[in-house]
Amino acid sequence: MKTVDIVERIEGEAKLNLIWKDKKVSDASIDFLNFRGFEYILENKPILDALVYTPRICGICGQAHLLATVNAIENLYKNSGNELQITNKAKILRELGLIIEIIDSHIKWFYMFIMPDVIEISKKQYEGYTPLKGEKWLGAQKGASEIIKALAIYAGQWPHTSYMLPGGVVSDPTLLDIVTCENYIDQTIKYFEKDIAGISIEKYLSLNSFEELTSLSSSLRDFVDISFETKLEQVGKAHNRHLVLSDMIGVKSGFFNKKISINLDLSKIKESEEYTFKLEKRNDKKAHTWSKSVQYNKQFYEVGPLSRAVINEREFITALHNKYADSTFTRVMSRVDEIAHLLIYSKKLIKQIDISEDSYIKPKVDLKSLENISATSTVEACRGSLVHTVSVNKGLITKYDVITPTVWNLGPRNNDELGVSQKAIIGSKSLNEAKIILRSFDICSVCTTH
Q: Which residues are documented as binding site for Ni(2+)?
A: 58, 61, 444
DSSP assigned state of 412: -
Q: Where are the beta strands (DSSP E) in 212-357?
A: 241-244, 254-257, 260-261, 269-272, 293-296
Binding residues, by number, are: 39, 58, 61, 402, 444, 447, 450
- State the amino acid at position 215 in one-letter form: S
Q: Estimate the crossing angle of helix 328-351 against helix 175-191, to 10 degrees.
A: 150
Ramachandran class of 298: left when φ > 0, alpha when ψ lies in -120 to 50, beta otherwise:
left
Q: Which residues are annotated binding-site positions for Fe cation?
A: 61, 447
Query: How far is residue 42 from each of residues 37, 39, 391, 411, 427, measured CA to CA in Å?
Result: 9, 5, 11, 23, 41
Instruction: Kindly report the backbone phi and psi dihedral angles of residue 106, in degrees, each rounded to the nearest multiple of 5, phi listed first.
Output: -65, -40
Q: What DSSP state is assigned to residue 119?
A: G
Q: Per the annotation, where are the binding residues for Mg(2+)?
A: 39, 402, 450
Q: What is the arrangement of strands in the sheet containing 241-244, beginning at the earlier edge strand? A: 241-244, 254-257, 260-261
What does the chain come to in residues?
450
Q: Which residues pair with 2 in a beta bridge?
A: 19
Question: CA–CA distance from 329 to each of 297, 313, 319, 335 (Å)?
Answer: 28, 18, 13, 10
